[in-house]
Amino acid sequence: MGLIDIFTSLVKIIAVLAYVYGLLWVLGKSSRWVKIAGILVAFGIIQLVITVNIGGSPIFNGFDLGLLFQACSMTMVALGLNLIYGFNGQFSLGQYGFYGIGAYTAADITYRWINGDARGLIVVLSGVIIVGLMIFGLRQIIHRYRGIPVLTQFTLYLVGTILAGIVAVYIGRGIAPAINPLLGTNLVPGALAQGIPLQVVFFLAIICAGVFAAETSFLFGLPVLTLGSDYFGIATLGFTIVVNTLMLNSDTILPFPEMKGGRGMIGIPKLTTWFWAFVFLVLVIVVMRNIIRSSSGRTIMSVREDEVAARAMGVDVADTKLISFMVGSLFAGIGGAIYAHYIGFLSPNTFNFLLSFNPLIIVVFGGLGSMSGTIAATFGWTFFLEGLLRNLLGTMGTDAPTWRYVLYPVTLLVVMLIRPQGLLGTTEWGFLKDILIKPRVKPQVAAPGPIAPAESQQGLD
Amino acid sequence: MQKASVSTTAPTLAHGPKTRLAWVGQGFLLILAVLALYIVVRNLIQDPVQFGQIIIGGLQLGFVYALIALGYTMVYGIVKLINFAHGDVFMVGAFVSFFSVTKFNLESWPAVVFPGLPAAVVVVIGTLTVILLSMIVCTVLAITIERVAYKPLRDAPRIAALITAIGVSFFLEYFGALKFVFTPEFIPYPSPFTVVTFYINNGIQMMVPGKPLPGHVVTFTSIFVIFIVATLLVQFLLQYLVHRTKIGIAMRATSFDKPAARLMGINVDQVISFTFAVGAAFAGLGGVLYAIAYSSIWTQLGILPGLKAFVAAVVGGIGSIPGAFVGALIMGLAENLTMGYISTPMRDAVAFTILILVLLIRPTGLFGEPEKEKA
């Protein structure tokens, strides 16, 4: 491991950060055509770097590409956490649980699909849809009556979910035999198990994984979000531990022999390409930025600032917390799906609760309530910890992986002691800069009146 | 940002003036309780001896949690920080005693210095020395951690201190896992004294090595007795310390209102350091006893007990010393009953389920005082 390699690593980190900044800058342009062209160029640059060889080896080799995918999926996870903690003020350590749920769900769907079993996709897809409809319908009813205790709501939703799950399993049993012959087997893939249909299934799997994680977070968050902030953190940490335990015993406690419990799930098709990672990364960034800029985003931030005042303004605090928690988990689930299909192998150790501090560390590092900070911190963190430190310590013998985790907390301590507010504080870049909506029309001189009509409508539930 | 992290843990359970359909949720809880009770009672009738064994194992685990939970509950009560490094201080305590026994034979120093002493006295004094050394090392470690990692961040957002706590925890675990420190493997732990097993059969009898047990009987070890004595002693000591001494009054005042305590002439920094030190000393004691009882140690042994001890402290009501004790016993018993009758892997799940349920029913924990409304 020479000095040149360290230098190249550093250059790559800086280049990737510059790239992220460029992407955000392009997204912030007002003209639609510039935006589209910019996104295409941003996609093309990395695609070029991956494919074009200089002197026999690509600029971004497999290792760097792995880092890039990891950074992309981790960005989604960390952005989700930033929405939950940075913007809504709910201290959550459960992000890795939802990440793992997303990864395993998506992996199971595509694994079964290429092995000639359509049941995974059909059951999850129909289950997700039915549970979504059930939650939506039940919410309409429950919202009509005030004063239903959280525990009662939870019980009702739980019963609904179990019933919906049973229905979904029966739907899967009914439909799957009709599709299975078209899939072929693992050795001889049928018409639907390769090419474009497989990509479509992959897309559906990512969406299903995200929504499944979001629905789980709804069920879990409904009672748990009523606890106070630190207690909520510990409860979500418990959630991560329980999910990890279930993963470790997925072939004994849970009926999924293909997940192979603690030995890890192998044979997941490696479907993640730069295209999918990029599409979902941009999608997550844009969706989250638009949420923050909308009136729901202001509601979310008002809950962070002062719950009592927010409630006095007519904000449904419980609902707001739940929505931000669900959206954050949705992002985590999508990130998990991207991760699973890039690495091709899932082990419960990847979702160990000790690692579940990582998104939190990233978010605090980048600055709570700063999207740009989170994105930059994720890319920097991945390339520093996984790339640079691993390369640096690669020659140090068997203790190397441990040394990595000795240097990492020391760095963490030093940065925290020097800059407790995070590296970027609440600075935002380019596209994310003006979080608060600029008025389209010039505001007229405020006419003396009882209530400004535009404001009176907001927040009233 | 700062506001969010300081926000009080106000219960927002929808107990409005009129609650509709509350019976559905209560019925759900009732079904859970009846189910748990059914499992317990059925197994109690089926095999009382096994049940007794599980209860004893659970109590022993509960005592370990109790010793750790004290540090959590006091520290959280005063600085509102989940001290993630506390579980690792517990681990360091176990390792210090391991080295003092294997490398320096510290447990037999009375025999070397005073050759004429009877064996029983040597064992008692030697073991107490080992425990004392661990407690002192843990205390020094905790004060160092507090001074280096937490004190500079006292005025920063609370999350910064939490992140450094996680950092310190990682550092202790992985620095300990290095080859030249503790090594990452499980290490068999040599007890400083021979552990004696007792069994209950027509009264309490001592088991003789080599002789088989008389059939199906409940057994327990001398460690279990030591645990009971040590934990109760620590409880009374702390009760006295907190309620009867000057530093205890200062601690309570600091936890009640830090700026006001400072105005009253209390050296708040010193009090906080003292709190960390006391908690760490008991964690060190717990570490040694844990290592003797379970006779295998490794660098990550503190993580899960640490977390569950924190959960126990929350269940008992954070800031309450008897609460931590009772919560820890509940945790230990629930965990062992789950391991025995439901499934071993779900032992971690039950702790957090209890946490959620208890907090839903009583947001301040079992013994916690109702949170005062802050302006």
Residue B2 has pLDDT above 50, yes or no: no
- Confidence band of A399 (pLDDT split at 50, 70, 90): low
Spatial contact of B303 and B355, defined as CB atoms under 8 Å apart? no
Q: Name the DSSP letter for residue A83.
A: I
Determine which of A413, A418, A424, A426 to mutate to test the interface with B (most B C-beta atoms within 10 Å): A413
A95-109, A151-165, A372-386, B46-60, range with the lowest pLDDT: A372-386
pLDDT in tens, B224-233: 999 999 999 9
Spatial contact of B346 and A253, defined as CB atoms under 8 Å apart? yes
Q: Would you call A235 and B356 a contact, using CB atoms and an 8 Å cutoff?
A: yes
Average pLDDT of span A271-275: 87
Question: How many domains would you assign to chain A?
Answer: 1
Give B-chain residues touching A220 at CB under 8 angstroms. Answer: none
Query: How close A407 comes to chain B (CA, Å)?
Result: 8
- Asked whether residue B195 is assigned to any structural domain, the reply reads yes
- Asked whether residue A132 is assigned to any structural domain, the reply reads no
pLDDT in tens, B228-253: 999 999 999 999 999 999 999 999 99
CA separation for the pair A134, A141 (Å, rounded): 11
Q: Would you call B21 and A152 a contact, using CB atoms and an 8 Å cutoff?
A: yes
- Confidence band of A452 (pLDDT split at 50, 70, 90): very low
Give me the pLDDT at residue A435, please. 45
- Confidence band of B328 (pLDDT split at 50, 70, 90): very high
Q: Which of B280, B276, B258, B256 is nearest to B267 (CA)?
A: B258
Sequence-ordered list of residues with C-beta below 8 angstroms from that of B120, at least 6 positions apart, any chain? none
CA separation for the pair A318, A223 (Å, rounded): 10
CA separation for the pair B136, A157 (Å, rounded): 52
Starting at the edge strand found earlier in the chain, the sheet holding B197-200 runs B204-206, B197-200, B218-221
pLDDT in tens, B193-223: 877 888 877 777 777 777 777 777 888 888 8
Give B-chain residues touching A248 at CB under 8 angstroms. Answer: 345
Per-residue burial over A100-118, b if 16 or more Cβ lie within 10 Å, else e, is: bbbbbbbbbbbbbbbbbbb
* DSSP H or E segment with residue B176: helix B158-176
- Confidence band of A330 (pLDDT split at 50, 70, 90): very high
* Alpha helix stretches (DSSP H) within A115-194: 119-144, 150-183
Spatial contact of A238 and B355, defined as CB atoms under 8 Å apart? yes
Give me the pLDDT at residue A267, please. 86
Per-residue burial over A294-325, b if 16 or more Cβ lie within 10 Å, else e, is: eeebbbbbbbbeebeebeeeebbbbebbbbbb
Residue B17 has pLDDT above 60, yes or no: no
Q: Domain of residue B206: give its range.
A: 56-361
**Helix, strand, coil share of chain A (percent; to 5):** 75, 0, 25
Among the partner-chain residues B19, B167, B349, the one whose CB lies closest to the CB of A149 is: B19
Residue B165's domain is classified under what CATH number?
1.10.3470
Residue A418's domain is classified under what CATH number?
1.10.3470
- Asked whether residue B96 is assigned to any structural domain, the reply reads yes
pLDDT in tens, B93-147: 999 999 998 888 887 888 888 887 888 888 888 889 999 999 999 999 999 999 9
Give me the pLDDT at residue A431, please. 67
- Asked whether residue B30 is assigned to any structural domain, the reply reads no
Q: Would you call B160 and A237 a contact, using CB atoms and an 8 Å cutoff?
A: no
CA separation for the pair A386, A58 (Å, rounded): 19
Residue A365 has pLDDT above 50, yes or no: yes
CA separation for the pair B309, B71 (Å, rounded): 9
Please give the residue that has the higher pLDDT: either B61 or A15.
Answer: B61
Distance in Å from the first CA to the final CA of chain B: 17
Determine which of B2, B15, B24 to mutate to test the interface with A (most A C-beta atoms within 10 Å): B24
Among the partner-chain residues B3, B14, B157, the one whose CB lies closest to the CB of A420 is: B157
pLDDT in tens, B257-301: 889 999 999 999 999 999 999 999 999 999 999 999 888 888 888
Give me the pLDDT at residue B309, please. 93
Q: Would you call A152 and B164 a contact, using CB atoms and an 8 Å cutoff?
A: no
Percent of chain A with pLDDT over 90: 29
Please give the residue that has the higher pLDDT: either A421 or B365.
Answer: B365
Give A-chain residues touching B24 at CB under 8 angstroms. Answer: 151-152, 155-156
Spatial contact of A28 and A290, defined as CB atoms under 8 Å apart? no
Q: Would you call A147 and B17 a contact, using CB atoms and an 8 Å cutoff?
A: yes
Spatial contact of B328 and B66, defined as CB atoms under 8 Å apart? yes
- Asked whether residue B151 is assigned to any structural domain, the reply reads yes
pLDDT averaged over chain B? 85
Q: CA A301, A303, A305: angle at the middle one, nearest 5? A: 70
A31, two tokens: 């003209």
- Asked whether residue B46 is assigned to any structural domain, the reply reads no
Spatial contact of A281 and A75, defined as CB atoms under 8 Å apart? yes
Residue B15 has pLDDT above 80, yes or no: no
Among the partner-chain residues B14, B153, B179, the one whose CB lies closest to the CB of A150 is: B14
Per-residue burial over A166-182, b if 16 or more Cβ lie within 10 Å, else e, is: eebeebbeebbeebbee
Residue type, B204: I
Average pLDDT of span B47-60: 91
pLDDT in tens, A404-424: 778 888 888 888 888 877 777
- Strongest mean pLDDT among A251-260, A420-429, A444-453, B59-68: B59-68
Q: Enter the pTM of the model.
A: 0.87
- Asked whether residue B1 is assigned to any structural domain, the reply reads no
CB-count exposure of residue A93 (10 Å: 0-12, 13-18, 19+): buried
Sequence-ordered list of residues with C-beta below 8 angstroms from that of A90, at least 6 positions apart, any chain? A84, A225, A229, A232, A321, A324, A325
Q: Which of B334, B364, B285 is nearest to B32 (CA)?
A: B334
Residue A325 has pLDDT above 90, yes or no: yes
CA separation for the pair B365, A327 (Å, rounded): 30
Q: Does A230 contact B at CB distance below 8 Å?
A: yes
Give A-chain residues touching B372 at CB under 8 angstroms. Answer: none
Determine which of A152, A240, A253, A316 to mutate to test the interface with B (most B C-beta atoms within 10 Å): A152
Give me the pLDDT at residue B10, please. 46
Average pLDDT of span B165-174: 90
Q: Which of B307, B327, B323 is nearest to B83 (CA)?
A: B307
Q: Would you call B12 and A408 a contact, using CB atoms and an 8 Å cutoff?
A: no
pLDDT in tens, A103-136: 999 999 999 888 888 888 999 999 999 999 999 9
Q: Domain of residue A383: give its range.
A: 3-116+184-437
Give A-chain residues touching B352 at CB under 8 angstroms. Answer: 234-235, 237-239, 241-242
- Confidence band of B374 (pLDDT split at 50, 70, 90): very low
Percent of chain A with pLDDT over 70: 87
- Asked whether residue A429 is assigned to any structural domain, the reply reads yes
Shortest CA distance from B179: residue in chain A = A399
Query: How close B167 comes to chain A (CA, Å)?
Result: 5
Give me the pLDDT at residue A175, please. 87
Q: Would you call A420 and B7 a contact, using CB atoms and an 8 Å cutoff?
A: no
Among the partner-chain residues B12, B164, B343, the one whose CB lies closest to the CB of A318 is: B12
- Asked whether residue A179 is assigned to any structural domain, the reply reads no
- Asked whether residue B12 is assigned to any structural domain, the reply reads no
CA–chain centroid gap for A444, Å, is 41
Query: How close B248 comes to chain A (CA, Å)?
Result: 25
Question: How many domains would you assign to chain B?
Answer: 1
- Asked whether residue A74 is assigned to any structural domain, the reply reads yes
397-456 of A, contacting B, C-beta below 8 A: 398-399, 402-403, 405-406, 408-410, 412-413, 416-417, 420-421, 426
